[in-house]
Amino acid sequence: MQFTIEQALSGSPRAVEDVLLDPAFVTARAALPKLSDPELLEWTRDGDHAHQRIRFRFTEHISGAVAAVVDPERLTWVDDATFDLAAHIAEHRIVPDHYADRLASSYRATITADGAISRRVLTGSVKVRMPLVGGKVERVIVSGLTEYAEAEATLINEWLARG
């Protein structure tokens, strides 16, 4: 399933990237919906390039049909992101800790200046390989990503306002 999520953010592309790459911001994401316990596994920044690996845990209730084929306690993954800070593009690869044979996902985050604000566009795909429920799980994941992204944009804007 393909997805596109757009965010309006109240800072320059560089300021937005600085927030996203701030280890304290990673910790602050714990208050956002659907996911908990963000754990910064790796963080490097060298000139116009950065690399960040964050482990997440899915905390939303899942249906009985899905729980029959996956253990909700094992729904953890690493968001492995490589940032091109000159181009304001980040390539994200989702690496499941468990069920790697059932889930494939990646997305690109592009930030562009738009007057006094920036637009961040996330475009990517989610593929769940599960008989009968795969499409439903994909829709739930994309819905959760959209809700999370909306809350994340609010948090980013709060951090940008702090200057």
Looking up residue 102, the CATH number of its domain turns out to be 3.30.530.20
pLDDT of residue 68: 67
pLDDT of residue 66: 64
pLDDT of residue 140: 81
pLDDT along the chain (163 residues), means of 10: 97 96 95 86 97 90 68 86 98 94 95 95 94 83 89 96 87
pLDDT of residue 23: 96
Q: Residue by residue, what is the 3-state secondary structure of 106-135?
A: EEEEEEEEECCEEEEEEEEEEEECCCCCHH
pLDDT of residue 14: 96
* Domains contained in the chain, number: 1
Give residue 120's domain range: 2-162
Helix (H) or strand (E) run with residue 140 in it = helix 134-162
pLDDT of residue 11: 95
